[in-house]
């Protein structure tokens, strides 16, 4: 099987009925790009920049960040690279920011919430990204967006920094898509409104599931509620993809679910455009997608979305697609 998969490294991901989907990889550092290319990813769907900030005693400088972003963009040779701005807080702490302990860190001062308040830190990252943008195909994504206002504020700050750089004579790529993670249920519900303002969505199921089911993704005692195949989750995903398409935008997924064998036929049927996963899952996913018909997967959509439980969905998908 491994041998069969390795033949797919340089192939496009086209379904049996001729539809192309993009298979991208999630990375944490520039060193990860080697594995991304070796496994034939068509792009990077999530670059988690928090690792640049972790395991050290002070913030990374603009120059350090610029070097990291430039390296990733250059190594990807024009393939799309979605960089997520700092997503700290929750399970990821930065001791040197000396933030007060919170009762519910996952519901607290994290990610874009923190960046919109600690603007010097945010602007430094955005400048580094904008300067690096001329070295490849950069797309910028904001994490943990709950309201339109947050997205607008973040985008306005980005445009301010872009203008400043241009006034300083620094060149910045002409078109940089600006999108958001959909990982908070409120954003998934209002996806039609967000879709008018973003260039793309990337669905973060790791968080979207925990927030929708109100079940901590790290707490084993409630892990039975952490259900990617719960129809409530699938309907939210459906809503997000549809909303994007109605506005002519693309929708991807960068949560763990995007790489799951059982999820792939469902997501294909819902019309997902981009699947971003760990590099080591790419070839298995490509082999699976090439055998699937998108039309057939789409014809099962209503049946799956009207099911009552995750168990029902799982049993149906296993049987229909001969999985396991």
Active-site residues: which are they? 254
Which CB sits closer to ligand PEP, 5 or 105?
A: 105
**186 contacts 146 by C-beta, under 8 angstroms:** yes
Which of 29, 71, 153, 206 is the binder for ligand PEP (CB under 6 A)?
Answer: 206
Which CB sits closer to Mg ion, 33 or 180?
A: 180
Closest to 259 in 3D by CA, of 40, 49, 24: 24
- Is 204 a residue that touches ligand PEP (CB under 6 A)? yes
- The helix or strand, by DSSP H or E, that contains position 242, with its residue range, turns out to be helix 231-246
Binding-site size, ligand PEP (CB under 6 A): 10
Taking the C-alpha atoms of residue 157 and residue 132, their distance in angstroms, rounded to an integer, is: 17
Binding partner selected for residue 205 from Mg ion, ligand PEP, none, CB under the kind-specific 5 to 8 Å limit: ligand PEP
**Which residues in 266-320 belong to E strands, given as ranges?**
274-277
Closest to 81 in 3D by CA, of 215, 179, 189: 179
- Is 255 a residue that touches ligand PEP (CB under 6 A)? yes
Smallest distance from ligand PEP to CB 200, Å: 14
The phi, psi pair for 165, rounded to 5°, reads -60, -45
Which sign does the torsion angle of CA 61, 33, 244, 320 carry?
Answer: negative
> Site residues for ligand PEP, window 26-55 (CB under 6 A)?
46, 48
> Site residues for Mg ion, window 187-206 (CB under 5 A)?
204
Which residues lie closer than 8 Å to 119 by C-beta, 6 or more apart? 157
> Site residues for ligand PEP, window 73-92 (CB under 6 A)?
87
* Letter string b/e over residues 191-216, b meaning 16 or more CB atoms within 10 A of that residue's CB: beebbeebbbbbbbbebbbbbbbebb
Which CB sits closer to Mg ion, 23 or 88?
A: 88
- Is 205 a residue that touches ligand PEP (CB under 6 A)? yes
- Is 228 a residue that touches ligand PEP (CB under 6 A)? no
Q: Which of 97-105, 128-136, 201-209, 261-269 is the region at the interface with ligand PEP (rule: CB under 6 A)? A: 201-209
Which CB sits closer to Mg ion, 5 or 105?
A: 105
- Is 188 a residue that touches ligand PEP (CB under 6 A)? no
- State yes or no: 230 annotated in a binding site: no
The residue of the chain with the least Cβ separation from Mg ion equals 207
**23 contacts 41 by C-beta, under 8 angstroms:** yes
Residue numbers belonging to the annotated binding site: 48, 84, 183, 206-207, 217
Residue numbers belonging to the annotated binding site for phosphoenolpyruvate: 48, 84, 206-207, 217
């Amino acid at each position: 099987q491994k041998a069969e998969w390795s033949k797919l490294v340089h192939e496009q991901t086209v379904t049996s009925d001729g539809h192309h989907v993009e298979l991208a990889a999630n990375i944490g550092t520039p060193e990860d790009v080697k594995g991304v290319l070796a496994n034939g990813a068509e792009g990077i769907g999530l670059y988690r920049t928090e690792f640049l900030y972790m395991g050290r005693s002070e913030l990374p400088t603009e120059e350090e960040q610029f070097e990291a972003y430039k390296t990733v963009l250059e190594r990807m040779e024009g393939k799309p690279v979605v960089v997520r701005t700092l997503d700290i807080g929750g399970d990821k702490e930065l001791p040197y920011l000396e933030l007060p302990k919170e009762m519910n860190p996952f519901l607290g001062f994290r990610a874009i919430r923190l960046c919109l308040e600690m603007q010097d830190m945010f602007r430094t990252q955005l400048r580094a990204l904008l300067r690096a943008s001329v070295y490849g195909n950069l797309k910028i994504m904001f994490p943990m967006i709950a309201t339109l206002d947050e997205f607008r504020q973040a985008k306005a700050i980005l445009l301010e920094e872009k203008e400043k750089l241009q006034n300083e004579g620094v060149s910045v790529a002409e078109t940089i898509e600006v999108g958001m993670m959909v990982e908070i249920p409120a954003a998934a519900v209002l996806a039609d409104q967000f879709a008018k303002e973003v260039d793309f969505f990337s669905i973060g199921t790791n968080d979207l599931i925990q927030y929708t089911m109100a079940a901590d993704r790290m707490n084993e005692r409630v892990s039975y509620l952490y259900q990617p195949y719960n129809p409530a989750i699938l309907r939210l995903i459906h809503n997000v993809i549809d909303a994007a398409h109605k506005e002519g935008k693309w929708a991807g997924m960068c949560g763990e679910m995007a790489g799951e064998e059982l999820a792939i036929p469902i997501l294909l049927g819902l019309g997902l455009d981009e699947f971003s996963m760990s590099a080591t899952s790419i070839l298995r996913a490509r082999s699976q997608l090439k055998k699937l018909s998108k039309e057939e997967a789409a014809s099962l959509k209503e049946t799956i979305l009207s099911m009552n439980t995750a168990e029902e969905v799982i049993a149906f998908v296993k049987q229909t697609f001969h999985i396991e």
